[in-house]
Structure 1
Amino acid sequence: MTTIEVDGLRKRFGPTLALDGMSFTVRPGHVTGFVGPNGAGKSTTMRVVLGLDTAEEGTALIGGRPYRSLSRPLSHVGALLDAAALQPSRSARDHLLWLARSQGLPARRVNEVIERTGLGTAARRRAGGFSLGMRQRLGIAAALLGDPAAIMLDEPFNGLDPEGIVWMRDLLAELAGQGRAVLVSSHLMSELQDTAARVVVVGRGRVIADTSVAELLATASGGRVTLRTSAVPEAARLLKEAGASVNALDGDALTVTGPTAEEIVALLGAHAVPFSEVSSYRASLEEAYMELTRDAVEYRATGSETGR
């Protein structure tokens, strides 16, 4: 099975340290989200993996081999880094046909990816007249052209309408379900939360967190429980006596940390304290991301470092 392995990448652009020991692995069979503030090193990492930039230190391998050693590389890894990277006077079909011929791929494969990406009615139109969403679909068609075992997409949700976002979500799930290694960079945390199984959070050119989405959300949620009760003082007293940390919200709400929701229900029930809601708090991926990258964002804001 093909993996994308990034190990100890260091890269400078003049005085700017863009990558500072970047290391992670994208494994087959699920979508890995790749997130971080602007300038955190996401695009540079992808460019190094694809041989478009050269790192001073470290390795970037696809299926155990550097990109430049791959014969017919589109059959190993498909990528979308810039939806505008095309000849605008060519039709969508001719753009894909040119890529296919460069890789020794049959013309029927062009027809297959055009159909898969919903470009059928626009295939013979000049790509220069496409909207951003249509260019994204064309770039994804190019990434799928060689039926690769690894896929890398940089901000693939950009420019897509709601129907296109649903389509993209389903496509990513399908690609992962087929056993491919899928790396997706995006600023749309809500889409990654619904799509990615793992997430690599980066800042200042290095990995801050590399974990499953479920584990990251559980950590960010912090075991908090929301309690709504008409007997706030009595409920707070009982919970504090039981060792819980209790914070008052507005109105009849409390945030409780320590006991589980089930334990809170049992405690209040045993003392006949009324309540209308006891629910475990679930943080969003956006909240978890903001907490993890707070220092990286502040660091960027000082102007001390700018990367790609």
Structure 2
Amino acid sequence: MPADRCQPGVNRRHRADTGRAVDLHSTLFAPRPRTDEHVSGASIEVIELRKRFGSTVALDGMSFTVAPGKVTGFVGPNGAGKSTTIRAILGLDAPDAGRALIGGAAYRRLRHPLRHVGALVDDAALQPGRTGRNHLLWIARSQKIEAGRVDAVLEQVGLTSAGRRKAGGYSLGMRQRLGIGAALLGDPAVVILDEPFNGMDPEGIIWMRGLLRTLAQEKRSVLVSSHLMGELQGTADHVVVVGRGRVLADASIDDLVARVSRDQVLLRTSAPDQAVRLLGQAGAAAAGSGDIVTVTGIGAQRVVELLAAAGVAFSEVTAQRGTLEDVYLQLTSGEVEFRSGDGREGRR
């Protein structure tokens, strides 16, 4: 089999009747014309993907676009269809309907695909007896990437000193870095990372944030699947929230948080009952618990103005803005419906 068809990490099984190894990737996708077109600045297009596993619907019309120059977060509960979508983009799962395109081409049509698309899907997809450097060399040779690129990538991911150690002795965070290094070997225009923050210590998380921002600044399309909402809110520009195999929201993080979440004001006062009545008359929703009143519907400045004008004593007013985690919980619980594209939403 030619080296450019041997994709690292693609599953293989043994056919008992012939004794030959069968490449599942080649079995699913028969040879067809391939392209070596440069896909710099390429986007990812997911178009009406549908996929069933038996009676289970994994993808139910999944559609979204990942644009160059942005970090796009990809979030949803377990079973929402994130992994199946990523596998469909990378040609590892064949959808029942719909298409996944990279720069307008299906993954299987890309010659030397790691030069176009770099992906971290499974940090365990390595031979523990190989050194980290040899692991990357094996991948580089399969894609006809120069060996010098391996040492550059090891330095980029902070594994230069550990590169000649056997990968089986790496920590989870080091395996993550090695997997990210493999994804970056071909200097791709598109980068897809599945849970890249897993196993990272605080220093690694800071490094990961910086790497993602740098990749986006280089006009690459970056798709990051993660369950760490705080990290995504501080790193991603855009977010696609999925559930039950379809897109629940597709918007910039700032826009989504502003439209779906409810900002709150926390008020500390010695006259909570009086404050609740006053703020309710002004159109706010206010509820007291001890000396704390929680207010929604009006901003902190307006709360202060109303209390001061009425002579209601207070010692503290704190504005609390909604977070991506708040939005995620509302969307995935079904409390909120957010219609992508027109920016409108509704509450159940």
TM-score for both structures, normalised by structure 1? 0.91
Matched-pair identity in %: 63
Match of 2:89 in 1: 49
> Is 1:224 matched with 2:264?
yes
Q: How does 1:29-68 map to 2 (within 5 A)?
A: 29-68=69-108
Paired residues of 1:221 and 1:281 also in contact (CA < 8 A) = no
What is the distance in 2 between the residues matched to 1:169 and 1:124? 26
- Structure 2 residue aligned with 1:287: 326
After superposing the two structures, state which structure 1 stretch, 237-246 or 108-117, moved more: 237-246
2:313 equivalent to 1:274: yes
Q: Distance in 1 between matches of 2:55 and 2:212?
A: 37
Partner AA of 1:278 in structure 2: V
Residues 220, 144 of structure 1: CA spacing in aligned structure 2 closer, same or farther, 3 A cutoff? same
Q: How does 1:243-262 map to 2 (within 5 A)?
A: 243-248=283-288, 250-262=289-301
Q: Which has the higher contact order (CA 8 A, sep 6+)?
A: 1
Residue identity opposite 2:162 in structure 1: A
State the number of aligned residues: 295
Aligned to 1:139: 179
1:4 pairs with one of 22, 44, 66: 44
Residue 114 in 1 paired to residue 159 in 2?
no
Amino acid at match of 2:297: G
Contact kept in structure 1, 2:272 and 2:290, CA below 8 Å: no
Distance, in Å, in 1 between the alignment partners of 2:147 and 2:267 is 61
Preserved CA contact (<8 Å) 1:8 1:23 = yes
In structure 2, how many angstroms separate the alpha carbons of the residues matched to 1:240 and 1:192?
Answer: 35
Query: What residue in structure 1 maps to residue 345 of structure 2?
Result: none
Moved more, 210-219 or 110-119: 210-219
Cα distance in 1 for residues equivalent to 2:261 and 2:101: 35
Post-superposition CA distance 1:18-73 (Å, at most 9, x none): 11101111111121111111111111100100001100111101111110111221
Match of 1:301 in 2: none
The 5-angstrom pairing of residues 1-308 of structure 1 reads: 1-248=41-288, 250-295=289-334
The TM-score normalised by the length of structure 2 is 0.81
* 8 Å CA contact retained: 2:261, 2:326: no
Greater helix fraction, Structure 1 or Structure 2: 1
Shift of 1:162: 1.8
Partners of 1:285 and 1:192 in 2: how far apart? 8
Moved more, 252-261 or 169-178: 252-261
Name the stretch that deviates more: 42-51 or 231-240. 231-240
Task: Please give the alpha-carbon distance, in whole angstroms, between the structure 2 residues aligned to 1:239 and 1:38.
Answer: 41
In 1, Cα distance between the equivalents of 2:217 and 2:314? 43
Gaps of 5+ in 2: 1-40, 336-348
Q: Name structure 1 gaps, 5 residues minimum.
A: 297-308
**Partners of 2:47 and 2:98 within 8 A in 1:** yes
Secondary structure at the counterpart of residue 138 of structure 1: helix
Work out the CA distance in 1 between the residues paired with 2:243 and 2:298: 34
2 CA distance for matches of 1:85 and 1:285? 31
How far does the alpha carbon of each residue in 1:194-240 deviate from its partner, in whole angstroms, 9 at most, with x for none? 11111111111111111121122223432432222222222222222
Post-superposition offset of 1:295: 4.6
Q: Could you tell me which amino acid in structure 1 is paired with residue 279 of structure 2?
A: L
